[in-house]
Amino acid sequence: MSENKDQKFVYDFTEGNRDLKDLLGGKGANLAEMTNLGLPVPPGFTITTEACKVYLESGAEPAALRDEVSSHLDALERKMGKKLGQADDPLLVSVRSGAKFSMPGMMDTVLNIGLSDSSVEGLSRQSGDERFAWDSYRRLIQMFGKTVLGVDGELFEEALEEAKDAKGVTIDTDLEAADLKELVERFKGIVASEAGRAFPQDPREQMDLAIKAVFDSWNGDRAKLYRRQERIPHDLGTAVNVCSMVFGNLGPDSGTGVAFTRDPATGHQGVYGDYLQNAQGEDVVAGIRNTVPLADLESIDKASYDQLMGIMETLENHYKDLCDIEFTIERGQLWMLQTRVGKRTAAAAFRIATQLVDQGLIDEAEALQRVNGAQLAQLMFPRFTEAAQVEKVARGIAASPGAAVGKAVFDSYTAVKWSRSGEKVILIRRETNPDDLDGMIAAEGILTSRGGKTSHAAVVARGMGKTCVCGAEELEVDTKRRRMTVPGGHVVEEGDVVSIDGSTGKVYLGEVPVVPSPVVEYFEGRMHAGADDADELVQAVHRIMAYADRVRRLRVRANADNAEDASRARRFGAQGIGLCRTEHMFLGDRRQYVERLILADTDAERDEALKALLPLQKQDFVELFESMDGLPVTVRLLDPPLHEFLPDITELSVRVALAEARKEPHENELRLLQAVHRLHEQNPMLGLRGVRLGLVIPGLFTMQVRAIAEAAAQRVEAKGDPRAEIMIPLVGTVQELELVRDEAEQVIAEVQAETGVELKLALGTMIELPRAAVTAGQIAECAEFFSFGTNDLTQTVWGFSRDDVEASFFTAYLEKGIFGVSPFETIDKDGVGALVRSAVEAGRATRPDIKLGVCGEHGGDPESVHFFHEVGLDYVSCSPFRIPVARLEAGRAAARSSDSDSR
Ligand code: PEP
Ligand code: MG
């Protein structure tokens, strides 16, 4: 960040506004907005994030900063009629950090700047409260010593404890002015000996050092960790707010509180908040005394209460959203210290969005921006009943949502063993590593006592869609003794039942009953939004989904390969099947035919095996086309390497060896073993699979095409409306596609001739290899549609084998910030996405009416859906459960882009 000569680094609260969050941070931008609305905000100014960036990069504040701060301070002093630290009547200020995104408690704040040995006397006289003045001074030295001068905070706490002990009292407020004076001397002594310098008496020096400390706190360990976990970029920097102090601790006519303009849990309008009389902000969190409900303020100080209610209404109408606020009352005068659009639960987000539409504050397009797919996904998980009388024992990080109940196990081996015998287990570890993978797969949920949102447990569990709570630090996990100790000392032994909630991070002892989500009941059609028992949430979801469906351009299809999934997908709003993987149709009882196909020595034997598979495949497709009648169904021809259908090499070797030892006949098994050896590949992902199978195993693809064509003909004869599309996987060059296409067309012509039914079967390909993407223009000559297989495309563009990399080094990559989110979760726009974009353009250039979709897992990922909307795909296809999320996000993307088009 280089310094620009004309750059302005300091903004008075009267100069900013809420759109300047990048520059002024969230707190600064909103303080400015409130100031401009004429609300009572204590005057002050904000030092920009740009100044912080210069400081962090060059190690020094921008040259112009000091003078700019001086002129803003002069203006502030004129406005307040007193000077910073003035001996007889000091202006005091707070210095607070405030980044673009809220980072609660992560960075530094120093209050009461301006107090010194002389001005403390002035404050005492002015306030008429000696105790208050000395208490403020001791707080300044304590906060300043700790955060600005780096003194161990414990030393101040110990001194405070000793002062209380000496006096025989237990709470701070029982210390009197004389005690606090002594304490100030102790604190100054601690600073001098620990920091190697005296506590600065010059108020301007205090302020300048505090500003620098706030800049530095951006790169504190806590802040860095928080940003990594919350995926906040490291280069934003923080703004610094310098604000004149107001005091809520000047007696019973003073106090401090927090409030919401509506209930953040339900969205209902009302009076929600807490108030603490005769207190400063930090006392509320310190829990020194109990707060009272905000409604009680009406009887304590009616004038301030009425004014506050009026301000809350102004803020709601202005921000057109739920706001949370912090305020202080100083001797009957109300001051607004902070506001921001408030955090809310997923359920409240949906309710509030529709409530605001009903109030006429926002329109439907805006309502769509007030919710998101991640929130909808959260509402779709089964959840624990609220009524359950089960004890919560700890809380960790909500790493991967869902509600899981099972017996505690402390190692992967036991997890697998117990789950094989039908037990539900929760795998509990300090942290997980790649060796735990089998156990994680076997468990209902994963609980760790260490690690954050990017820990191995969190990343892998999210990838698997498995419930996970991580970093529950209150738990002492002892894997050697197979037990964990919860706060309070209770010991959970292996086999004890625990319940974990991956949406809240809560850990319970015993079994918490799980209830289905009402939102899923609604999507399933078991609950109607208009029904009497439909709750407010279901009605809100129903309305928001209707808005999304009305505006979205992307169609949403499902990845489904059986009639049951297809029907559910349809209920969830799928407009067809974008990927029917046929490999699942070759498992179970049918494996024997695949084995025969692989072992066939003669054409006749091979044809026999294929002939046995044909009617089974056909029936699969008849059922699928029936459940998706009238909607497109893309059937992908066989993709995985054939050895996946053969027995495991070790198991088979043992079987052969045993049979040999017992002198039992084992010719078939020996042939199988030879075939397994023959088909063994070093890198099966890059081996004989996809279109390559179709080209080297005669009759395989034609059998599948025949099954599709015959099934379609049968559905037409039954007066159905089948819309089958045949998709060829893993194509790298147009020649491969041409060969398969010629054969397929011949088979389709035969079936038409045999059945007398005219068939309209589209033929297209997956684009899932870089070469296919790069030569998409040529491939389009032979393909009526493309479906981007972004799973394989991500693997091949990055050179990652997903199974190998996710469990091994992805955590390290996430922690090092190489990527903020796994490219298998959210499309890598710059790499994989760029190939998709250029293939879309090339495909359309060759064949303007080519149909374009995506069927990798990214099709159900919110951020990726926006990207696919932007590059102009026709549809996304995802697992049935993600369909509502994709519909919502497609609607949000369309509403957002039409918004920017019209600007
Ligand atoms: C893909 O590669 O994105 C895809 C959908 O195919 P599969 O996941 O079955 O390899
Ligand atoms: Mg693939």
Distance from Cα 504 to the centre of ligand 2, integer Å: 34
> Residue holding tokens 């904000």?
46
Write down the pLDDT at residue 849: 98
* Confidence tier at 229 by pLDDT (50, 70, 90): low
Distance from Cα 320 to the centre of ligand 2, integer Å: 45
Q: Ion ligand 2 — residues with CB under 5 Å? A: 768, 789, 792
pLDDT one-digit tens code per residue, 738-777: 999 999 999 999 999 999 999 999 999 999 999 999 999 9
Write down the pLDDT at residue 154: 93
CA-CA distance, 373 to 225, in Å (whole number)?
26
Tokens of 256: 């401090």
- Tell me the DSSP string of 299-353: HH-HHHHHHHHHHHHHHHHHHTS-EEEEEEEETTEEEEEEEEEPP--HHHHHHHH
Write down the pLDDT at residue 286: 56
Distance from Cα 520 to the centre of ligand 2, integer Å: 29
Task: Decide if 469 contacts 397 (C-beta within 8 A).
Answer: yes
Residue 219 neighbours by CB distance under 10 Å: 15
Among residues 72, 855, 858, 866, which one is catalytic? Answer: 855
pLDDT one-digit tens code per residue, 578-626: 999 999 888 888 988 988 988 888 999 999 999 999 999 999 999 999 9
Atom of ligand 1 nearest to the CA of 795: 2
DSSP-derived pairing of the beta strands 403-409 and 497-501: antiparallel
Mutate to test the pocket of ligand 1, among 580, 768, 800, 824 (most ligand atoms within 8 A of CB): 768
For 588-627, b where at least 16 C-beta lie within 10 A, e where not — what string? eebeebbbbbbbbeeeeebeebbeebeeebbebbbbbbbb
Mutate to test the pocket of ligand 1, among 639, 728, 828, 864 (most ligand atoms within 8 A of CB): 639
Question: What residue's CA is closest to ligand 1, atom 8?
Answer: 791
pLDDT one-digit tens code per residue, 236-275: 999 999 999 999 988 889 999 989 999 887 888 888 888 9
**Is 855 an active-site residue?**
yes
Question: What residue's CA is closest to ligand 1, atom 6?
Answer: 789
CA-CA distance, 628 to 660, in Å (whole number)?
51
Least confident of 68-82, 597-611, 621-635, 871-885: 597-611
Among 95-104, 540-549, 587-596, 677-686, top mean pLDDT goes to 540-549
Mean pLDDT value of segment 359-381: 95
* Confidence tier at 459 by pLDDT (50, 70, 90): confident
Residue 801 neighbours by CB distance under 10 Å: 14
* Whole-number Cα distances in Å, 264 to 294, 382, 502, 749: 15, 21, 20, 62
CA-CA distance, 64 to 510, in Å (whole number)?
62
Q: Tell me if 790 is assigned to a ligand binding site.
A: yes
CA-CA distance, 634 to 639, in Å (whole number)?
14
Distance from Cα 739 to the centre of ligand 2, integer Å: 20
pLDDT one-digit tens code per residue, 380-437: 998 888 777 788 899 998 888 889 999 999 999 999 999 999 999 999 999 998 888 8
For the chain, list the domains and their CATH numbers. Answer: 10-244 (3.30.1490.20), 255-344 (3.30.470.20), 381-515 (3.50.30.10), 559-579+615-640+695-902 (3.20.20.60)
Tokens of 389: 């009388």
Among 513-517, 635-639, 808-812, top mean pLDDT goes to 635-639
Question: What residue's CA is closest to ligand 1, atom 9?
Answer: 581
> Residue holding tokens 């099947």?
577
Distance from Cα 690 to the centre of ligand 2, integer Å: 8
Write down the pLDDT at residue 221: 81
Atom of ligand 1 nearest to the CA of 788: 3
DSSP-derived pairing of the beta strands 425-429 and 483-485: unpaired
Percent of the chain at pLDDT exceeding 90: 74
DSSP-derived pairing of the beta strands 506-509 and 497-501: antiparallel
Q: Tell me if 715 is assigned to a ligand binding site.
A: no
For 323, residues 6+ apart whose C-beta sits below 8 A from its C-beta are 260, 261, 312, 315, 316, 339, 340, 341, 342
3-state helix, strand, coil in the chain (%, to 5): 50, 15, 35
Q: Tell me if 671 is assigned to a ligand binding site.
A: no
Size (the chain), residues: 903
Mutate to test the pocket of ligand 1, among 635, 791, 857, 879 (most ligand atoms within 8 A of CB): 791
Q: Where are the alpha helices (DSSP H) in 381-534?
A: 412-420, 437-442, 456-464, 518-523
Q: Tell me if 768 is assigned to a ligand binding site.
A: yes
Q: For residue 900, is pLDDT > 60?
A: no
Residues with a CB atom less than 6 Å from ligand 1: 579, 581, 639, 768, 789-792, 855-856
CA-CA distance, 831 to 864, in Å (whole number)?
13
Angle, alpha carbons 849-855-856 (nearest 5°): 135
Q: For residue 903, is pLDDT > 50?
A: no
Q: Tell me if 17 is assigned to a ligand binding site.
A: no
Ligand in nearest proximity to the CA of 855: 1
For 663, residues 6+ apart whose C-beta sits below 8 A from its C-beta are none
Tokens of 550: 């009305």
Q: Tell me if 636 is assigned to a ligand binding site.
A: yes
Give the CA diameter of the chain.
Answer: 107
Task: Decide if 755 contacts 713 (C-beta within 8 A).
Answer: yes
Write down the pLDDT at residue 902: 44
Q: For residue 288, is pLDDT > 90?
A: no
In a 3-state reduction of DSSP, which class is residue 522? helix
For 194, residues 6+ apart whose C-beta sits below 8 A from its C-beta are 145, 149, 151, 152, 155
Angle, alpha carbons 494-498-501 (nearest 5°): 140
Mean pLDDT value of segment 836-851: 98
What phi and psi values does residue 821 have, to the nearest 5 degrees? Answer: -150, 150
Write down the pLDDT at residue 2: 53
pLDDT one-digit tens code per residue, 158-210: 999 999 999 998 877 788 999 999 999 999 999 999 999 999 999 999 999 99
Task: Decide if 822 contacts 888 (C-beta within 8 A).
Answer: no
**Is 580 an active-site residue?**
no
Write down the pLDDT at residue 850: 98
Among residues 456, 542, 643, 869, which one is catalytic? Answer: 456
